Every structure is written in C-alpha cells, then in structure tokens.
C-alpha cells in the first residue's frame, strides 16, 4: 500500500521537484561569502560611514537574499502556475508594509519628543 | 371593525410617543451642534461626506427593494427571465466609475481637511492663545494653566473666541480627551505631550465634557471658586467669556445668578479646583463605594480601563481579606 | 504564582460567577454520566475526537461557535441591561463591566465568528471543488482542537483566576503587569495565541486545497464564488495572523520576563502595540467578511435561478479587498496623533476599499435582475444583509474621513458602525450559509416558520438596538462606559437600544428552538433541496464520508446546473465505474497535542513550571511521533463505495447525472489521487512565508525600538563582532552543506545525504553554542531582556531566530533517523526538501539580522 502510494507520488514528485546542481550551490555559496565580506570590510573599517554605510549594508543584504533565492532555493525552476513565487512576492510586500509602515507611523509623527 | 380602528390608532400613537420620548434629548446631539470653529469644520466635513455617500446609497436601497419585488417568482406578472445573462461592460463601467468618482471627491476633501484640522496646528485668531496643560490621572483630570498660575482638577474654564492650546499627557494608562461640542479628541499617553487646539466661538449651550465624566449637582461653594477662576481668565481675551454649564439649563440659571460667570466655557467635573501656588491638592473625598458612587468610578475612561482600586477595597471589606494584585 | 487560598485561584465574590461554576460543574457531570450510561465513549473517540473528516470537523466548529454565540450574546445583554438606565442602577459593577465588554469582544470575533467561518469552510469547500477532503486532514483536525483548547483556556478565566479586563485588544499600558497584575490578561494572551495557531493552519490548509485539489476541468475562473471568497480570506489569514502571534508574544514577554516593549518606562512604546495589533486587526475583519460575501454570491445565484453577474469583477473585488485591507490599519488610531500625513494617507486607502465592496453589491443586485427570485430563509437573510451592510458601509466611509473621525472615534457611533457591518455582514451571512448548507450536512432543512420568526426578531431587534447608538455617538456617549447620569439626555436612546438587544436575544432562542424542532420533525431531503448550481449539490445529503464516489469532471461554471439541464434534455451517461478511494486515517495526535498546548498555556498563565515543562515536552513529543508515523492513509474498496452509494439511494437521476466523469485520470493518478508530496511541499512553502511575516514584525519592532536604550548599553557597547562574524559564516556554510545534502539525495546517495545532514547539524549546533555564549556574556554584563526596550527587541528578534535554528536541529536529527531507517523515498525526499528550504530560510533571516542588528548597531 505504501509502495503503491510512493510510486505514484514519485511521478509527481519528480515532476514538481526542482533539481539543483552542484554548480548552482557552489556559485551561490561563493557569492554569499563575497556579499558578506564586502559590508564587513567596508563598514567595520570605516571605509564607508553614515548613510552611505547603511545603503551598502542593505543593498548587499538584499542581493545576498536574491542570490540565495535563486541558487539555494531554486525559485526560477518552479513550474507554472508559479504559486510559490506569487506567495513569496505577496509576503514580501506585506513585510515591507509592516516595517516601513511601522517606522513611518511611529517615528515620523506629530508627537515629537 | 371597531377594535381594528382602535388598535390602529394606538399603533400610530406608538411611534409618535417613541419619537417624542427619544427626540426630547435632541438638543443634546452635540456633534451636530458645535460651538467652536474646529467642530464646525468637522461638521461641514460630515455633511459633505454623508451627502456624497447618499448619492449612491439611496438609489441602491431603492434598487434593492424594486428588483426584489419585481422579479420575485411568485409575481403574477410574467417578468423577463434571462438566466444566462451575466455580463455587461456598460453596467460595470457605471458601477465602478461612479463610486470611484465619489470616493475621489471625498478623498480630496479629506486630505485638505486633514491638514486644515490637524490637532497640533494652531488656530489663527486675533486673540492671543491660552495654554492649558491637561494630565489624565487615575480617575481625574488635572488642568494646569501655566500662564495664570492656577490649576484645577476635573474642571476647566476658558474664555470664548480665544484659541486654546491644550498640551496633553497622562501619568499611566492611556486615555482620551474629548470635548464633542468644540471639536475632536486626542489620546493622552504617558511620556508624550500631545497638542490639541480648540476654540469656543460662543457662550451657552450644553456642554459635553471630555470622556465620561460624571456630573453632579453644582454646589454653592463651587460657584464661588469658579468665580475666582473666571476673574483670572477675564484678563485674557475680550473679557467676555463663553459660559457653558455642564449640567443643564437649571445649572445655567444658577451660574448666571451667581453673577461672576458672565461668560466662561466651563467644563465641570465633580471636584473642586486647586490653587497651584498654595500647593493644596484637591482630593475628592473617597466615600466608600455606595450603589451610586461606584458609577463614578468609570469616570475616566478611554482606551484603557483602570481597575478602580477603591472598588477593590470594598471587596476587601466584604470578604475580610486583603486582596492584592498578583 | 503562588496559590495560598482558594480565592487566589477561583473567582470569588460574585453570585453570577458562582452560578456559572455550578452550571459548568453540573454540565460536565451530566456529559460524563450520559456518555457512560449510553456506552458512547468509544463512539465519541472514534467518530468525533479523532476524526479527520472535514465534514465532522466542520460540525464541531459550528457547534462550538453557536455555544460561544450564546455566551457572547449573554455578555451583550448584561451590558445592555446595565446601560438601560442611568447611574442609579448598578446591576454590574464597573469592574465586572470591564470583564464583560472584554470577553464579549474576544468571544464574538475570535471564538464565534472565526470558528463559524472555519466550520463553513470545512463543510463546504471540498464539496464545492469536487475533492475528497482537504489537503491536510490531520492538520485540519489539529486546527479545530487548538481552537477548542484556546477557547477553553479563555473561557475558564471566567471562573478561574479572573477574566481579562483591558478590552478586546488589550492595549498597554493597561494590559501590562503593572496595571493588570492578575492572570486574566495571561489567559487572554494564551487563549488567543493557541487558537490563532489553529487559524493560521486552516489558512494554509485551504489555500493548498483550493489551489491543488480541484476536480479536473475546474479551472480557477470556473470555481464557485464561495470557494474564491475562501481563497481570498485564507490569503489574508496567512499574512495577518503571524502579526497577531508576534504582538501577543511580545506582550507576554513584557508580562512574563519583565521586558519593555510596551511599558511606560525604560524605552517602552505602547503606541507600537496599537500599531501592530491593528495591522492584524483590520485584515481580521476582512477575513471574516469575505466568506460572507461568497455565501451571498452562492445564495443570490441559486435563489434567483440565474448565473452570478460579473464573475470576473467579483473575483477581482474579492482579491483586491483581501490585499488592500493590509494598507488601511492606521484608521483605527487617527486620534493617536500620527500627524496629517499619516492620517490623510490611511484615510484615502480606507475609502478605496469601499469601491470593490460597493461593486459587489451591484453585481448581486443584477444577478437578481431578470431572475426568478424565491425567498426561502437563506435568501431572506441575504435580502436583510444588503440594506444593513450598505448603511454600515456608508458610516464606515464617514469614519474613514480622518478629521471627522476625531468626533466619532470610540464613541457609540463607532460601536454602531462596526456592529452594523459585523452583524449585518458577517452574522447575517453566516446564518444564511448555515441555513443554505444545513440540508447538505444533516440531511434535513430547518423549519421555515420558526426560521421566519427568528429572522424578523433578529432584524427588527438589530435596527432597534443599533440605530439609536448612532445618535448616542453624536450626543457624545463614549464606549465602555458602565453608566452615565440622567442629565446627559442619553437615557431614552439607551433604553430603546436595550429593548432591541433583547429582541435579538429572543431571535436567537427561536433559532435554537428551530434547530431542536427540525431535528425531530423535519423530513429528510435528497441531495439537492434548493435546486443548487454547484457541485456540492450533486452528492447525497448528508454526503458520504468519501464525498464523491467518482471524481467529477468539470466543464464550466455552475457545473451541476449545467448537468441537470443536460439530464433534463435526456442526455444519458454511462453507468458509473467505482474504484478504490484513498482516504486519511483517523488520528488521536491532534487532540492529544492540543491538550498539551492547553497544559502549557495554563502553566504559563499561573507560572507553574510543573505544568509548563510537561506541556512543552508533550507538544514536542507528539510532533516527533507524528513525524515518525508513516501509517496515515488507507483505501476504501470499490465494493464499499458501491454499497454506500446504493444505500444513499439517490435514484436514477443521480446515477446518470453523476456520470460524465473520468474514471481514470492519468494526470492525477487513480480516482483523482493527488500528488500528496507536492501538496505538502506547497504547504510548507506557505508556512515559510508566514514565518517571514513573523520575522518581519519582529524586525519592525526592532527598528522602532532600537534606539530606546533608556540610558543603558547600546549595540556598540555590547556587540562583539568576531563572534558574530563566526556565527554568520558558520550558518552560511551550513546552508550550503544542506544544499549538498539535497544533491546527494537527488543522486540517491543515502550515506551522502545523512553525512551532509550531520555536518549541517554540527554547524548549526556550533552556531547555537556561540549565540548562547554571546547572550550569557551580555546578561553577565547586566544587559538583560528587562534592561531596556532596545535589549528586549534584540533578545526577542535574535532569540526567535535561535529558537528556530534549535527546533530545526531537533527536526534534522529526527529526519536523519527516518532516512536511515526507510531510505530515500518520495516521502523522505519531500521532508528533506522541506528542511533544506527551512534551513536556507533561516540563513536568509540571519543575513538581515546580521546587517540590521549587528552591523548597523555596532557602527
């Protein structure tokens, strides 16, 4: 019974599963290392300071996120309909709303002091 | 049938009686009868938005009942029946388009007024503004007049036609300060100083106080003290002060009779006031909660509900043990 | 909390509560006696407590919600009685009044509306889409039992410990330990938290069910509108509930660990709580109203015998309301002083939502136009909804105008508005749905005459109760007052309002009578008592446990209607060919796990480690048991299916009309057997997105509080970068090795898989070790979670991540054991794929922790 179940499921599982390759994982790893090293070096040694440092930090973080999405989590390989991508985008929109909205309301309001 | 006629007449009388009963308090619909510039603007806004909404609401209500009636299956008339008709671009355009337009209008008005009626925005006036600091304490309001050097508890008074700049805070749980007759409310929160600008345009009328404050019968000694406050405020503004009694027409008569209160916009809360220089803090004598009293416990409401400690104490006595918080 | 005497534990001093104690005790005894006398313990366990059948679960949800409607309604009537006459009356002391308005709100929204909604989801959606059950039947059962335990926890506060008093949303500082020292507030937190986890699971469950388990041929744009509304509501659920989870958790951390998120001192910011809770709170009301809209769509089409007008438009409206509801939350605190920019923005976004809502009304009206309308009970309730909701919507637009809202906020005008949309929209909608689908669930209709009495009493009662409240609001009466004086002029309106309340109460009693009467006297109906249009009406009533004997093949919208028309024209179909059906087994895991959650919650409320620890261990143990349990399904033989169908005795029409089906569909395997592993992968991905929201909320809190050091140490003082850098590289490497593990798995290399998993786990363990060391060092230096708001936020954000990693480690070990025992099978493949995804996710979160917390903090 379990095998019957498994064999049928394996058809589907193979069809839906995304196959990474060693290359993609290694590339993702190396890129992530680089994208971690850059802010470390630049910011901890005060090569960049102030707002520019914030920008560098955030940009490298977002880039590393995107790298991992594609190289580790194989986002591009999803078959249609791309429900995973849609859910992810929606989730990200909401996360940005939560963070930006909170900062806006709590920190830029008329209640000074 | 005789019985039927009688019954109908009685039935007709009922709504009439009900309306009389209900509308007897009609003059008290203070939001619709503002006494201050801010409140008046807010009322304008309410009328505009209601009007715009009704443009859609009324036809839709009529349409609802008309369609339901006309196309009911039990109808004797043979109405058209189009079971497969489920799309009309024209209709969709109309009922997306018109609401979008109406909302756009409301939105424009709203944005304009949001900036115009921002609470922290000062009110333009030829009179010099008066500053009143408001502190929401546990079950009382403290009003400090820094320029006049006085303070009152549960009682505030200010002249007509003078912009009042309230600076508000709270010592503990949040509350909300609202004078419906003059304009909108604002939260009072500990650790922050909120700003609210209001102005009273005229004397008279019934006042609704800030958050659910109980009123009590004005006593003679209070009148005298109010005179004190009034005289200090007389130097401010035109001298004529808006009088609003919080407790009904009778109060108004009595207050006028007292002579001193030619005009003062008075918020009356059941307590005496305090003279800051004398550092004598008014304390309402906390009588053991009686059936009547405990209602007053709810006096200060707002976003947070405080646990009335003297209620708890009553609990003590009843149960014979000390009940502390956990 | 130390209990030294009975009154520390039980609520004393109130006769009403003593009465409730007695009633509860007697009821429990009566239930035990009845079950024993009729020897039904086994039946109860097998048929109800361990069921994973969505129809049974739906029934349990509905029963629970109706009981909660009773309690919430009694609360309402108590309040209205108190308010009927001014302050001469003291029926309820102010203290007690506070308890009651708090419990009224929590119960009605979270323990009445939500479960009733989930009940309707469960009873209907799988039937509408031609599925045999939901995507995750066991998770479905767990959702119900978690809700049940959460509701129990909340309700028990009435008699044990004391009810919460700080309002249904528990604003700090009042809900902080300082001002609410009792346990009531903790009962509130845990009751809602546990129930909320169940809600989140249901959201995930139904999204996967609807997206992946539709009958062949049923494209998205051919689905019934109710199913669309469920999908839109569930999308909102999965995005909103994580915010609630975090916010309540932060409040609990304040109360339990002395943190300073929302306290008055040490940098705490109560406004942040209000901001966060309404970020959940506003989508929440759309969560409950969207399915009501779907119900109305179904009913209007069925009872007008006409297609639903503007299907595409309706779908667009549903989905846009679902998403836009996330951009409007600040309208709940216009008066908090956010400034004209914020207020203007949120006023406009709030108004915009009125547009799609209004469009739906037009679509319903034009569905009725040129139809043949009959007014059975479901249609009556729909007709009542339309005018009520329109007016409620209008007052909503009035409230959305920010400067005008300064005069309406927290007055009875607001109360009247939200009750109008909630009762007129949600309650009327769910009643309509219950009346509509009742025959499908139970096999008989509810009595019409009693139903009409209930309907008119409810409607008249509603208007009599709430229209005066608009006037009261304009007269300056504010919410949550327990009394007012005679000279406010409020008395007459309040008195009338109370009468209306009692009319609604009587209406409810009529409904109870109607249900009891109908159980006894109403005749059984066949599968399609209303002349329905959608698939659920094509099977017998009540539906057999496998729902569809043969998976239907769908060709258009309102497919059942189409097939009936074909049958009427005499189109014959070949007789059905039955095949074995794959069904999930019953399971005791959900109820057992939920009991452990109850124990854990109760333990946290009273701070009794002797309950907390066993509770936590029990939860972990049941989860591990479930992970190792591979015996979860079985097959129903074709013969049994044939017998059940024959017994349902639908007659010739069913046999012929029910045909036109695929007996063997290669796309989905036997009898519509769905690819379970794909379902589970998708479900897990959605869970990861909800986890994103959790971390997003924690990041937002951190961003707001990160400078609130209250004179204490800052990040620059505390953070030691070498350790943090090491942690970063360790975690990144472990993410890489988990990928290598997946690669080994794909090659079929079991040893490689386990080997790389071990490496990943060891790296993860070193990460945790470093982090714990870091925390201990900081605590040693005096930087505790209770030192400042900044530190509270820091420990919570980074600690939550660490907790995720730790749980991941336990899970990894469990999976290693499973792979070692069973090898690489599709099931283990899916599980490894999921944990690898989880691990990558945790590394991504760490990128942001590292950047925003450490790098920005240390500069």
What is the DSSP annotation of B100-150? HHHHHHHHHHHHHHHHHT-TTSPPP-SSPPEEEEEEEETTEEEEEETTTTE
Please provide the average confidence, as pLDDT, over all residues in chain A: 81
For residue C360, the distance in angstroms to the closest alpha carbon of chain B comes to: 9
**Can you tell me the ipTM of this complex?**
0.93
Give the residue among B41, A106, B210 at the shortest CA–CA distance from C704: A106
A8 and A41 part of one domain: yes
A62 and A91 part of one domain: no
Mean pLDDT check: name the lowest of B121-130, C280-289, C590-599, C615-624. B121-130
Which span out of B16-30, C220-234, C663-677 was modeled with the highest average pLDDT? C220-234
Given a contact cutoff of 8 angstroms between Cβ atoms, the answer to whether C295 and C226 are in contact is yes
Question: Among partner residues C338, C675, C695, which is closest to A9 by beta-carbon distance?
Answer: C675
Q: What pLDDT is attached to residue C649?
A: 65
H/E run at residue C246: helix C225-257
The answer, yes or no, to whether residue A80 has pLDDT greater than 90, is no
The answer, yes or no, to whether residue B127 has pLDDT greater than 90, is no
Residues of B with CB under 8 A from a CB of A: 118-120, 189, 192-195
Chains that touch B (3 or more CB pairs under 8 A): A, C
Confidence of residue C94 (pLDDT cuts 50, 70, 90): confident
DSSP conformation letters of C617-664: HHHHHHHHHHHH----EEEE-HHHHHHHHHHHT--HHHHHHT-SB-SE
Q: What pLDDT is attached to residue A72?
A: 87
Hey, CA dihedral for C677, C680, C682, C685, is it positive or negative?
A: negative
Q: Apex CA C105: angle with CA C104 and CA C111, to 5°?
A: 85
Positions of E strands within B199-296: 265-268
Q: Where are the alpha helices (DSSP H) in A1-113?
A: 2-16, 22-44, 50-71, 83-107
Is C333 in Cβ contact with B187 (below 8 Å)?
Answer: yes
A66 and A96 part of one domain: no
C669-670 and C664-665 strand pairing:
antiparallel
Give the pLDDT confidence of C758-798 residue by residue, as tens digits: 999 999 999 999 999 999 999 999 999 999 999 999 999 99
The answer, yes or no, to whether residue C441 has pLDDT greater than 80, is yes
The answer, yes or no, to whether residue C671 has pLDDT greater than 80, is no
Which span out of B28-42, B225-239, C175-189 was modeled with the highest average pLDDT? C175-189
Cα C711 from Cα C534, distance rounded (Å) = 65
A104 and A59 part of one domain: no
Q: What pLDDT is attached to residue B3?
A: 46
* Per-residue tokens: C773: 């060391």
Q: What pLDDT is attached to residue C3?
A: 78
Q: What pLDDT is attached to residue A77?
A: 77
Q: What pLDDT is attached to residue C85?
A: 86
Non-local CB neighbours of B41 within 8 Å, separated by 6+ positions: B113, B116, B117, C403
Cα C329 from Cα C278, distance rounded (Å) = 6
Given a contact cutoff of 8 angstroms between Cβ atoms, the answer to whether C834 and C815 are in contact is no
Mean pLDDT check: name the lowest of B6-10, B180-184, B199-203, C829-833. B6-10
Q: What pLDDT is attached to residue B309?
A: 38
Q: What pLDDT is attached to residue B10?
A: 61
Q: What pLDDT is attached to residue C139?
A: 97
Q: Which domain holds residue A22?
A: 2-77
The answer, yes or no, to whether residue B224 has pLDDT greater than 70, is no
Is B303 in Cβ contact with C167 (below 8 Å)?
Answer: yes
A73 and A84 part of one domain: no
Cα C569 from Cα C657, distance rounded (Å) = 11
The answer, yes or no, to whether residue C414 has pLDDT greater than 70, is yes
For residue B119, give the chain A residue with the closest CA.
Answer: A110
Give the pLDDT confidence of C514-523 residue by residue, as tens digits: 999 999 998 8
For residue B59, the distance in angstroms to the closest alpha carbon of chain C comes to: 11
Confidence of residue C575 (pLDDT cuts 50, 70, 90): confident
Q: What pLDDT is attached to residue C249?
A: 98
Question: Among partner residues C94, C369, C390, which is closest to B311 by beta-carbon distance?
Answer: C94
Given a contact cutoff of 8 angstroms between Cβ atoms, the answer to whether C161 and C184 are in contact is yes
Chain-centroid distance, C-alpha C801: 25
Please provide the average confidence, as pLDDT, over all residues in chain C: 92
For residue B238, the distance in angstroms to the closest alpha carbon of chain C comes to: 28
Hey, CA dihedral for B99, B100, B103, B105, is it positive or negative?
A: negative
For residue A1, the distance in angstroms to the closest alpha carbon of chain C comes to: 8
Is A113 in Cβ contact with B192 (below 8 Å)?
Answer: yes
For residue B178, give the chain C residue with the closest CA.
Answer: C407
Q: What pLDDT is attached to residue B13?
A: 65
Q: What pLDDT is attached to residue B154?
A: 78
Percent of chain C with pLDDT over 70: 97
Please provide the average confidence, as pLDDT, over all residues in chain B: 67
Q: What pLDDT is attached to residue B179?
A: 86
Which span out of C499-513, C524-538, C641-655, C672-686 was modeled with the highest average pLDDT? C499-513
Give the residue among C75, C46, C209 at the shortest CA–CA distance from C683: C209
Residue C747: how many other CB atoms lie within 10 Å: 11
A51 and A101 part of one domain: no
Chains that touch C (3 or more CB pairs under 8 A): A, B
Give the pLDDT confidence of C48-62 residue by residue, as tens digits: 999 999 999 999 999
Give the residue among C133, C261, C150 at the shortest CA–CA distance from C200: C150
Given a contact cutoff of 8 angstroms between Cβ atoms, the answer to whether C711 and C791 are in contact is no
For residue B170, give the chain C residue with the closest CA.
Answer: C264
Given a contact cutoff of 8 angstroms between Cβ atoms, the answer to whether C75 and C100 are in contact is yes
The answer, yes or no, to whether residue B4 has pLDDT greater than 70, is no
Q: What pLDDT is attached to residue B24?
A: 58
Non-local CB neighbours of B276 within 8 Å, separated by 6+ positions: B144, B149, B150, B151
Q: What pLDDT is attached to residue B323?
A: 37
Is A110 in Cβ contact with B193 (below 8 Å)?
Answer: no
- Return the residue matching tokens 């304490």: B137
Hey, CA dihedral for C232, C238, C239, C244, is it positive or negative?
A: positive
The H helix count followed by the E strand count for chain C is: 30, 4
For residue C387, give the chain B residue with the closest CA.
Answer: B61
A73 and A83 part of one domain: no
A87 and A53 part of one domain: no
Given a contact cutoff of 8 angstroms between Cβ atoms, the answer to whether B210 and C449 are in contact is no
The answer, yes or no, to whether residue C529 has pLDDT greater than 80, is yes
For residue B195, give the chain A residue with the closest CA.
Answer: A111
Q: Apex CA B198: angle with CA B192 and CA B199, to 5°?
A: 155
- pTM equals 0.88
Confidence of residue B316 (pLDDT cuts 50, 70, 90): very low
Q: What pLDDT is attached to residue B228?
A: 53
Percent of chain B with pLDDT over 70: 53
Given a contact cutoff of 8 angstroms between Cβ atoms, the answer to whether A94 and C322 are in contact is no
Mean pLDDT check: name the lowest of B214-218, B230-234, C385-389, C481-485. B214-218
A56 touching chain C per CB within 8 A: no
A62 and A110 part of one domain: no
Confidence of residue C19 (pLDDT cuts 50, 70, 90): confident
Give the residue among B136, B134, B157 at the shortest CA–CA distance from B144: B134
A72 and A83 part of one domain: no
Give the pLDDT confidence of B244-297 residue by residue, as tens digits: 223 323 333 333 333 333 233 444 333 333 333 333 333 333 333 333 333 333
What average pLDDT score do residues B65-73 get?
A: 92
What average pLDDT score do residues A17-41 get?
A: 86
The answer, yes or no, to whether residue C396 has pLDDT greater than 60, is yes
Cα C686 from Cα C835, distance rounded (Å) = 14
The answer, yes or no, to whether residue C622 has pLDDT greater than 50, is yes
Best residue of C278, C310, C403 to probe chain B, by most B CBs closer than 10 Å:
C403
Q: What pLDDT is attached to residue B263?
A: 32
Task: Tell which wins on pLDDT, B299 or C707.
Answer: C707
The answer, yes or no, to whether residue C416 has pLDDT greater than 70, is yes
The answer, yes or no, to whether residue A54 has pLDDT greater than 60, is yes
Cα C163 from Cα C11, distance rounded (Å) = 9
What average pLDDT score do residues A35-45 get?
A: 91
Q: How many domains does chain A divide into?
A: 2
Mean pLDDT check: name the lowest of C202-216, C224-238, C664-678. C664-678
Q: What pLDDT is attached to residue B23?
A: 61
Give the residue among C745, C735, C740 at the shortest CA–CA distance from C842: C735
What average pLDDT score do residues C254-280 get?
A: 95
Q: What is the DSSP letter of A20?
A: -
Residues of B in contact with C222 (CB under 8 A): none
Q: What pLDDT is attached to residue B216?
A: 24
B40 phi-psi bin (left φ>0, alpha ψ -120 to 50, beta other): alpha
Q: Apex CA C567: angle with CA C561 and CA C570, to 5°?
A: 150
The answer, yes or no, to whether residue C114 has pLDDT greater than 50, is yes
Q: What pLDDT is attached to residue B113?
A: 95
Residues of A in contact with C336 (CB under 8 A): 111
Q: What string of H, E and C letters represents the secondary structure of C276-303?
A: HHHHHHHHHHHHHHHHHHHHHHHHHHHH
A41 and A60 part of one domain: yes
The answer, yes or no, to whether residue C344 has pLDDT greater than 90, is yes
Best residue of A51, A65, A104, A106 to probe chain C, by most C CBs closer than 10 Å:
A106
A110 and A63 part of one domain: no
Cα C476 from Cα C210, distance rounded (Å) = 47
For residue C693, give the chain A residue with the closest CA.
Answer: A95
Is B120 in Cβ contact with A110 (below 8 Å)?
Answer: yes
Question: Among partner residues C635, C697, C699, which is closest to A1 by beta-carbon distance?
Answer: C635
- Return the residue matching tokens 């479905």: C140
Mean pLDDT check: name the lowest of A56-60, C227-231, C234-238, C479-483. C479-483
H/E run at residue C542: none
Task: Tell which wins on pLDDT, C413 or B193.
Answer: C413
Q: What pLDDT is attached to residue C200?
A: 98
H/E run at residue B155: strand B155-158
């Amino acid at each position: 019974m379990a095998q019957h179940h498994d064999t049928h499921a394996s058809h589907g599982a193979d069809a839906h599963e995304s196959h990474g390759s060693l290359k993609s994982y290694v590339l993702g790893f190396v890129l992530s290392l680089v994208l971690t090293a850059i802010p470390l070096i630049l910011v901890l040694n005060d090569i960049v300071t102030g707002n520019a440092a914030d920008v560098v930090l955030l940009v490298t973080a977002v880039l590393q996120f995107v790298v991992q999405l594609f190289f580790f989590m194989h986002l591009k390989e999803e078959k249609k309909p791309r429900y995973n991508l849609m859910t992810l985008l929606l989730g990200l929109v909401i996360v940005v709303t939560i963070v930006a909205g909170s900062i806006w309301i709590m920190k830029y309001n008329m209640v000074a002091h | 049938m005789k019985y039927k006629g009688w019954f109908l007449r009685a039935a007709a009388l009922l709504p009439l009686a009900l309306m009389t009963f209900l509308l007897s308090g009609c003059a008290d619909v203070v939001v619709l009868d503002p006494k201050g510039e801010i409140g008046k603007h807010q009322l304008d806004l309410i009328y505009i938005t209601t009007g715009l909404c009704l443009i859609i609401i009324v036809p839709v209500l009529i349409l609802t009942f008309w369609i339901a009636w006309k196309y009911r299956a039990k109808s004797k008339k043979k109405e058209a029946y189009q079971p497969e008709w489920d799309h009309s671009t024209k209709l969709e355009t109309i009922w997306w388009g018109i609401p979008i337009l109406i909302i756009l209008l409301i939105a424009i008005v709203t944005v304009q007024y949001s900036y115009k009626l921002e609470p922290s925005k000062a009110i333009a006036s030829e009179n010099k503004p008066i500053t009143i600091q408001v502190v929401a304490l546990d079950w009382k309001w403290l009003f400090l007049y820094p320029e006049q050097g006085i303070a009152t508890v549960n009682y505030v008074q200010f002249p007509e036609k003078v912009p009042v700049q309230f600076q508000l805070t709270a010592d503990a749980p949040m509350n909300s300060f609202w004078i419906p007759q003059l304009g909108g409310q604002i939260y009072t929160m500990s650790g922050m100083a909120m700003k609210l600008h209001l102005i009273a345009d005229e004397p008279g009328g019934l006042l609704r106080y800030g958050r659910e404050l109980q009123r009590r019968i004005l006593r003679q000694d209070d009148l005298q003290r109010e005179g004190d406050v009034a005289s200090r405020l007389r130097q401010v503004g035109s001298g004529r002060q808006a009088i609003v009694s919080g407790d009904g027409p009778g109060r108004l008569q009595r207050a006028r009779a007292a002579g001193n209160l030619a005009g003062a916009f008075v918020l009356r809360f059941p307590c005496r006031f305090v003279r800051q220089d004398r550092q004598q803090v008014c304390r309402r004598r906390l009588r053991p909660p009686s059936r009547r009293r405990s209602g007053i416990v709810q006096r200060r409401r707002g976003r947070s509900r405080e646990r009335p400690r003297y209620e708890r104490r009553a609990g003590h006595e009843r149960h014979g043990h000390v009940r502390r918080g956990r | 909390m130390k209990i030294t005497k009975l009154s520390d534990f039980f609520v004393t001093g109130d006769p009403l509560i003593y009465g409730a104690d007695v009633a509860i005790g007697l009821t429990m005894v009566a239930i035990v006696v009845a079950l024993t006398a009729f020897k039904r313990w086994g039946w109860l366990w097998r048929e109800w407590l361990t069921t994973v059948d969505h129809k049974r679960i739906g029934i349990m949800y509905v029963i629970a919600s109706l009981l909660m409607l009773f309690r919430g309604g009694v609360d309402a009537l108590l309040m209205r009685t108190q308010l009927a006459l001014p302050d001469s009356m003291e029926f309820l002391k102010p203290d007690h009044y506070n308890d009651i308005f708090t419990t009224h709100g929590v119960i009605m929204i979270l323990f009445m509306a939500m479960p009733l909604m989930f009940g309707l989801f469960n009873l209907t959606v799988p039937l509408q889409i031609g599925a045999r059950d939901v995507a995750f039947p066991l998770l479905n059962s767990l959702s119900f039992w978690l809700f049940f335990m959460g509701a129990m926890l909340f309700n028990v506060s009435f008699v044990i410990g004391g009810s919460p008093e700080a309002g249904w949303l528990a604003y700090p500082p009042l809900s902080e330990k300082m001002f609410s020292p009792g346990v009531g507030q903790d009962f509130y937190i845990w009751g809602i938290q546990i129930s909320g986890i169940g809600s989140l699971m249901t959201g995930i469950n139904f999204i996967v069910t609807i997206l992946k388990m539709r009958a062949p041929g049923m494209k998205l744009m051919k689905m019934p509108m109710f199913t669309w509304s469920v999908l839109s509501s569930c999308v909102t659920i999965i995005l909103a509930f994580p915010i609630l989870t975090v916010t309540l958790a932060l409040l609990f951390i304040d109360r339990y660990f002395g943190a300073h998120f929302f306290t008055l001192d040490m940098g705490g910011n109560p406004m942040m709580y209000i901001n966060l809770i309404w970020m959940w709170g506003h989508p929440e009301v759309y969560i409950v109203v969207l399915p009501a809209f779907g119900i109305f769509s179904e009913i209007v089409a069925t009872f007008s015998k006409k297609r639903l007008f503007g299907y595409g438009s309706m779908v667009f409206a549903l989905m846009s309301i679902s998403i836009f509801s996330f951009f409007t939350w600040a309208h709940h605190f216009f008066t908090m002083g956010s400034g004209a920019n914020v207020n203007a923005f949120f006023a406009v976004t709030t108004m915009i939502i009125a547009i799609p809502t209004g469009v739906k009304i037009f679509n319903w009206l034009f569905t009725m136009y040129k139809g043949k309308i009959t007014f059975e009970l479901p249609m009556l309730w729909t007709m009542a909804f339309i005018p009520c909701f329109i007016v409620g919507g209008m007052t909503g637009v009035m409230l959305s105008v920010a400067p005008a809202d300064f005069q309406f906020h927290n007055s009875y005008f607001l109360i009247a508005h939200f009750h109008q949309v909630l009762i007129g929209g949600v309650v009327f909608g769910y009643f309509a749905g219950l009346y509509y689908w009742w025959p499908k669930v139970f096999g008989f209709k509810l009595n019409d005459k009693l139903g009409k009495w209930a309907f008119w009493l409810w409607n008249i009662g509603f208007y009599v109760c709430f229209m005066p409240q608009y006037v009261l609001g304009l007269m300056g009466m504010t919410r949550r007052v327990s009394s007012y004086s005679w000279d406010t002029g409020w008395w007459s309106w309040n008195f009338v309002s109370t009468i209306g309340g009692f009319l609604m109460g009587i209406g409810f009693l009529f409904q109870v009578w109607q249900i009891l009467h109908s159980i006894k006297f109403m005749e059984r109906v066949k599968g399609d008592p209303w002349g329905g249009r959608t698939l659920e009406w094509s099977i017998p009533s009540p539906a057999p446990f496998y729902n569809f004997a043969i998976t239907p093949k769908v060709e258009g919208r309102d497919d059942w209607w189409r097939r009936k028309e074909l049958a009427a024209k005499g189109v014959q179909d070949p007789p059905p060919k039955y095949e074995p059906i794959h069904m999930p087994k019953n399971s005791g895991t959900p109820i057992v796990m939920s009991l452990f959650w109850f124990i854990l919650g109760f333990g946290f409320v009273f701070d009794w480690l002797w309950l907390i620890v066993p509770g936590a261990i029990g939860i972990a143990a049941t989860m591990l048991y479930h992970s190792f349990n591979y015996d979860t399904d079985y097959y129903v033989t074709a013969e049994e299916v044939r017998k059940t169908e024959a017994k349902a005795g639908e007659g010739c029409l069913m046999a012929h009309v029910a045909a036109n089906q695929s007996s063997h569909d290669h796309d989905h395997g036997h009898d519509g057997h769905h690819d379970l592993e794909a379902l589970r992968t998708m479900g897990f991905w959605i869970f990861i997105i909800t986890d994103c929201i959790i971390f997003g909320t924690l990041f937002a809190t951190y961003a707001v509080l990160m400078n609130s050091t209250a004179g204490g140490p800052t990040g620059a003082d505390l953070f030691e970068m070498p350790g943090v850098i090491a942690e970063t590289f360790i975690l990144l490497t472990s993410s890489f090795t988990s990928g290598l593990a997946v690669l080994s798995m794909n090659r079929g290399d079991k040893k490689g898989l386990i080997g790389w998993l071990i490496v990943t786990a060891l790296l993860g363990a070193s990460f945790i070790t470093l982090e714990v060391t870091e925390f201990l060092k900081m605590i040693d230096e005096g930087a505790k979670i209770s030192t400042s708001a900044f530190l509270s936020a820091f420990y919570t954000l980074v600690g939550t991540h660490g907790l995720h990693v730790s749980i991941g480690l336990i899970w990894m070990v469990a999976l290693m054991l499973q792979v070692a025992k069973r090898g690489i099978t599709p099931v283990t493949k899916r599980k490894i794929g999921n944990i690898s995804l989880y691990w990558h996710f945790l590394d991504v979160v760490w990128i942001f922790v590292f950047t925003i917390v450490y790098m920005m903090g240390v500069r």
